[in-house]
Structure 1
Amino acid sequence: MRKLFITHPVEARLSVALAVLVIGLGISTDTFLTLSNLTSLLNNNAVNIIWAVGLLVVLIAGGIDISFAVAASVVQYLTAQVLFGMGGGNWALGFMVASMFGIGLGLVNALLIQGFRVISIVITIATFNAYFGLLMYFTRGRSIFNLPPWWTERIYIFEHQAANGTWSVLNLSVLVMVVCALATWALIRLTSLGRQLYAFGDNPEGARRAGVNVWLMQCLAFGWMGLMAGIGGFMQVNITQEIVPNALYGRELAVLAAVVLGGARLGGGRGTVLGCVLGVLFVAVIQNGLNLLGISPFAFQMIIGAIIMVAISTSNISFAASAATRRRNKAASGAA
Structure 2
Amino acid sequence: MAKFFRTHATETALLVVIAMISLILSFATDRYFTIGNAFDLLNTSSVNIIFAVGLLVVLIAGGIDISFAVAASVVQYGVALFIGWIGGGNWAIGLVVAGCIGVALGSINAGLIQMLGIPSIVVTISTFNIFFGFLMFFTKGVSIYDLPDWLTTRVVLYERQMADGSWVEISLPVLVMVLCVAATWALITRTTVGRQLYAFGDNPEGARRFGINIAFMRFLAFGWLGLMAGIAGLVQAHYAQEVVPNALYGRELDVLAAVVLGGARLGGGKGTVLGCVLGVMLTQITQNGLNLMGVSPFAFKMIVGAIILVAITLSSSQIERLLPFRRHQGTTR
TM-score of the two chains, using structure 2 as the length reference: 0.94
- Correspondence for 1:132: 132
Please give the alpha-carbon distance, in whole angstroms, between the structure 2 residues aligned to 1:256 and 1:175. 23
5 Å-filtered alignment, 1:120-269, equals 120-269=120-269
Report whether the alignment pairs 1:93 with 2:93. Answer: yes
RMSD over aligned CA atoms reads 1.8
Q: Measure how far apart 1:311 and its partner are.
A: 2.0
**Secondary structure in 2 aligned to 1:317?**
helix
Q: Measure how far apart 1:322 and its partner are.
A: 8.1
Report whether the alignment pairs 1:39 with 2:39. Answer: yes
Q: Measure how far apart 1:101 and its partner are.
A: 0.6
1:177-205 Cα offsets, whole Å, 9 max, x none, are 00000000000000000000000000000
- Correspondence for 2:331: none
Check the 8 A contact 2:32/2:289 in 1, yes or no.
yes
CA 1:295/1:269 → structure 2, altered by over 3 Å: closer, same or farther?
same
Please give the alpha-carbon distance, in whole angstroms, between the structure 2 residues aligned to 1:132 and 1:68. 11
CA 1:13/1:283 → structure 2, altered by over 3 Å: closer, same or farther?
same
Report whether the alignment pairs 1:59 with 2:59. Answer: yes
- Correspondence for 2:318: 317
- Correspondence for 1:78: 78
Q: Measure how far apart 1:34 and its partner are.
A: 0.8
Q: Measure how far apart 1:28 and its partner are.
A: 1.8
Amino acid at match of 1:46: S
Please give the alpha-carbon distance, in whole angstroms, between the structure 2 residues aligned to 1:182 and 1:234. 19
5 Å-filtered alignment, 1:282-293, equals 282-293=282-293
1:4-44 Cα offsets, whole Å, 9 max, x none, are 44311110000010011112111221101111111111111
**Secondary structure in 2 aligned to 1:245?**
coil
My pick for the range that moved more, 210-219 or 77-86, is: 77-86
- Correspondence for 2:10: 10
Check the 8 A contact 1:39/1:170 in 2, yes or no.
yes
Check the 8 A contact 2:159/2:168 in 1, yes or no.
yes
CA 1:27/1:126 → structure 2, altered by over 3 Å: closer, same or farther?
same
Q: Measure how far apart 1:294 and its partner are.
A: 1.5
1:150-208 Cα offsets, whole Å, 9 max, x none, are 11110011100112112111110000000000000000000000000000000000000
Q: Measure how far apart 1:312 and its partner are.
A: 1.9
**Secondary structure in 1 aligned to 2:160?**
strand
Check the 8 A contact 1:261/1:311 in 2, yes or no.
yes
Check the 8 A contact 1:6/1:323 in 2, yes or no.
no
Check the 8 A contact 1:47/1:236 in 2, yes or no.
yes
Amino acid at match of 1:88: G
CA 1:36/1:199 → structure 2, altered by over 3 Å: closer, same or farther?
same
Larger radius of gyration: 1
CA 1:86/1:320 → structure 2, altered by over 3 Å: closer, same or farther?
same
5 Å-filtered alignment, 1:105-120, equals 105-120=105-120
Please give the alpha-carbon distance, in whole angstroms, between the structure 1 residues aligned to 2:105 and 2:16. 38
Amino acid at match of 1:137: F
1:253-272 Cα offsets, whole Å, 9 max, x none, are 10000000000000000000
Please give the alpha-carbon distance, in whole angstroms, between the structure 1 residues aligned to 2:79 and 2:13. 41
Q: Measure how far apart 1:45 and its partner are.
A: 1.2
1:226-273 Cα offsets, whole Å, 9 max, x none, are 000000000101000000101111111100000000000000000000
Please give the alpha-carbon distance, in whole angstroms, between the structure 1 residues aligned to 2:195 and 2:56. 14
Please give the alpha-carbon distance, in whole angstroms, between the structure 1 residues aligned to 2:327 and 2:146. 64
Q: Measure how far apart 1:323 and its partner are.
A: 6.1
Check the 8 A contact 2:9/2:323 in 1, yes or no.
no
CA 1:324/1:132 → structure 2, altered by over 3 Å: closer, same or farther?
closer
Amino acid at match of 2:65: D
**Secondary structure in 1 aligned to 2:168?**
strand
My pick for the range that moved more, 303-312 or 12-21, is: 303-312
Amino acid at match of 1:229: A
Q: Measure how far apart 1:223 and its partner are.
A: 0.2
Q: Measure how far apart 1:295 and its partner are.
A: 1.8
Please give the alpha-carbon distance, in whole angstroms, between the structure 2 residues aligned to 1:325 and 1:232. 35
Please give the alpha-carbon distance, in whole angstroms, between the structure 1 residues aligned to 2:94 and 2:138. 21
1:304-329 Cα offsets, whole Å, 9 max, x none, are 322332222222327379869989xx
Amino acid at match of 1:111: G
Amino acid at match of 1:107: S
My pick for the range that moved more, 125-134 or 305-314, is: 305-314
Please give the alpha-carbon distance, in whole angstroms, between the structure 1 residues aligned to 2:309 and 2:161. 42
Uncovered stretches (5+) of structure 1, i.e. residues with no partner? 328-336
